[in-house]
Structure 1
């Protein structure tokens, strides 16, 4: 099947809509769910999903990232594309059998899992749905419109499920169902959409060995990433209580939602950058990287500053009075938006397309070890705040390592970044924060206060960027990105 190649602008808009829906969906669901099933209930579901993520990681190996690159490099040859899809899907299905065998054993041997067997089984559906969903195929083909549409449909279904079935504190199992459905339900549809792409490989002999070396490198990278992105929640569950997990989950959920927006441009750029790298189109490669860095800095820094200043009302609105202890972990976590955005560029957008994924793995392993050590030291005494500090330091280590590896390339790219616009944004933030902290605004009901504050703050920044000629925002408005 011949796949139409859309512009970066179109793909960015589609993926931004998908990312925005990931923000909107929790804004609709979590304020309701958190007040009904309370911190203990949300903590149980967060623990189950974080635990299932480790088994999903084993089933997927490193294919979600490697697959995007492999598809992008072969998308113009239907036969090679079909063979790559068939081989990688078979590897995933084979590994999922081992993942489920290990999960079944853990379900009976680990007391924390055995105590919530039904919830754990619900969470384990994410393993199968991830495998058959082959999202990496459609990302490599840059088919973001279909990815977005299917995801939105399942998010709507999940919202309906929430209001129909979640009414009491004991209904946290339905919250687990809703979480799996909204995040991974599209796997069913994507699998059937992938079948036509397999036809060209009918009868062809498969060669799994050619994929194993890069897959294992990406797998090592994924292991380390999954460890330190889920380690905080899992360690809190084992070392503290469901309540502490629930408090931390309220903070980490906001951070995770914003990360999807910060990395939305990078997601759509990976296939194009892989294509440029394979064709030695170096100037176009560097131009896209420069644009990505500008986007991350101009988006993540204002957003992280706003969320740090408005942490308490944000937690109060989204999660409720019972979760106010999450304000401090949220403040600690917000700088990671900038760090993750930058490491997403250096790691996923530069090192991976240029075949240097081993360096990404090393950096992420360093971050994982750092996170483990900091968590062991701080979680016993500081609980969720200690876990947040561990994450912040780990992300700093990952970003610093990758910047050091790419220092010669970045010396040529960074001067082209929109530093003037960033300085203007920081200068405008000072009077904006002074204005929104005035009593005339802060005394308003929390929803109205956040809405007015957001309009004032981001409105002032948006106007500043437009007047200063910032490329991405002006390009989106004039459809030139």
Structure 2
């Protein structure tokens, strides 16, 4: 099979993630003003609960299946057999997830006031299973993934403005969110026939997948719980309003993190393929380049969001959410830790088949997360949840450096990282002075962002930082 362009894959993933930023930038300000912190808090609390059951249904399959399918993607017969085996695993786990959901739904008293909302959000459990997104990731079909995702995001935006007009419409808002995130997955079965034959007769071997799948399931469990534990505990310990504030604080940070980390994850199938083909040199070169580019973008992104936290909160959420400003500033540091964490997960540990270390790291983080959230939320509320999250997200990549170090030390270019850091520091001080000159939030954000990008680009070019020239060459080639 002809190899797809890595640059094109990264561009498609960047576009997809960029759309994930553009649509919330349009939709969240509208929804947060209509639904207010109370309504946004209810929806996010319900979604945080459903994430636990979705985690059981997905069963950690996505990463494992994408890695293994990437190795046999050129053999349709083997890929078809593998796909059927993974789907069977997923259907069983989905049934278990729904049984557990029904039990909790009936017996947990706290859920009684969220019954309809939880039922709506629970449809996500089934749609995730049907999606088989791992197959398209393994085949590096990022163009299809991006197009499908963008179409459904656009449709969801139309539905939002058409149907959500008052605070009581939070149920409709929740349904639109499900449609936006996983509605497109049902079409994957149709398109999957291009790559696999699900009617092919074959003897299914489920046992050989069990150990790695359940290892990744452990990783997925701990990771998912870590990602929603702050929101869940805020909901139980404080209330919906605090969850609404926290959602406003973390929303924009998460969008920027996804923009960077999704581009990093697009290289995982290729790194797995290169290692399977014993192309160690090409693997090292690719990983080294991705690390430089990751830091090149994450450093200034964190600095820029820190400076613009207040105007961003005011513009996208409104003055009712101003108490979330300090928490958002704190969480900008999470951009650095999560991008490094994604790099270690997708390009070092998973392709090297060291997933057991992912499990150990996530268990450590989970214990730390639960402990810190309990004490910090009780003492400092929303800010405490943010502080606990930041400490946990910083601990994760530090722990994962232990099994990754022998690979990292050979590819790390400290000079490139120092150049990125130097440009970021200069940019930070300049835009900090500029941002206070504006009273209009929109004008402040646009002007400060443009000046920051231009200044950073000029500094990195003058310092002759390699990622700056990679980006310039990519832009030149696109223009041609």
Distance 1:302 1:415 in 2: 18
Task: Please state if 1:447 is matched with 2:442.
Answer: yes
Say whether the 8 Å CA contact 2:348–2:407 is kept in structure 1: no
Kept in 1, the 8 Å contact 2:423–2:456? The answer is: yes
Higher deviation after alignment, 14-23 or 345-354: 345-354
CA distance in 2, matches of 1:410, 1:317: 40
| Residue 170 of structure 1: how far off its partner (Å) | 0.2
Match of 1:91 in 2: 89
The correspondence for 1:426, drawn from 424, 427, 433, is 424
- Cα distance in 1 for partners of 2:37, 2:202 equals 53
Q: How far off its partner does 1:462 sit?
A: 2.2
User: Are the aligned partners of 1:74 and 1:81 in contact in 2 as well (CA < 8 Å)?
Assistant: yes
Task: Choose from 446, 459, 464 the match for 1:464.
Answer: 459
Partner of 2:319: 321
Q: Structure 1 residue 13: deviation in Å?
A: 0.5
Please list the CA deviations of residues 230-272 of structure 1 after superposition, one character each: whole Å capped at 9, or x if unmatched: 1001111111100011111111211211111121221210000
How many Å separate the matches in 2 of 1:167 and 1:418?
Answer: 50
Preserved CA contact (<8 Å) 1:71 1:84: yes
Q: Which stretches in structure 2 are left out of the alignment for 5+ residues?
A: none
- List per-residue Cα deviations over 1:178-223 (Å, max 9, x = no partner): 1111111111111221234332661111111111111011111101
1:86–1:201 CA contact under 8 A, matched in 2:
no
The whole-number CA distance in structure 1 between the counterparts of 2:56 and 2:405 is 33
| Residues 42-441 of structure 1 mapped to structure 2, 5 A cutoff | 42-199=40-197, 202-415=200-413, 418-439=416-437
CA contact (8 A) 2:304 2:428 kept: no
Residue 35 in structure 1 maps to residue 33 in structure 2: yes
- 1:56-77 CA-partner distances (Å, limit 9, x unpaired): 1101111111111011011011
CA positional deviation for 1:432: 2.4
CA contact (8 A) 1:78 1:200 kept: no
Displacement of 1:427 in angstroms is 4.3
Q: Which runs of 5+ in 1 are unaligned?
A: none
Partner of residue 19, structure 2: 21
Measured against aligned partners, the alpha-carbon deviations of 1:282-304 in whole angstroms (never above 9, x if no partner) come to 11111111112112211111111
The number of residue pairs the alignment matches comes to 475
Task: Name the stretch that deviates more: 467-476 or 269-278.
Answer: 467-476
TM-score by length of 2: 0.96
Distance, in Å, in 2 between the alignment partners of 1:476 and 1:306 is 23
Per-residue deviation at 1:143?
Answer: 0.1
TM-score normalised over the length of structure 1: 0.95
* Maintained 8 Å contact 1:43/1:243: yes
User: CA RMSD for the aligned pairs?
Assistant: 1.6
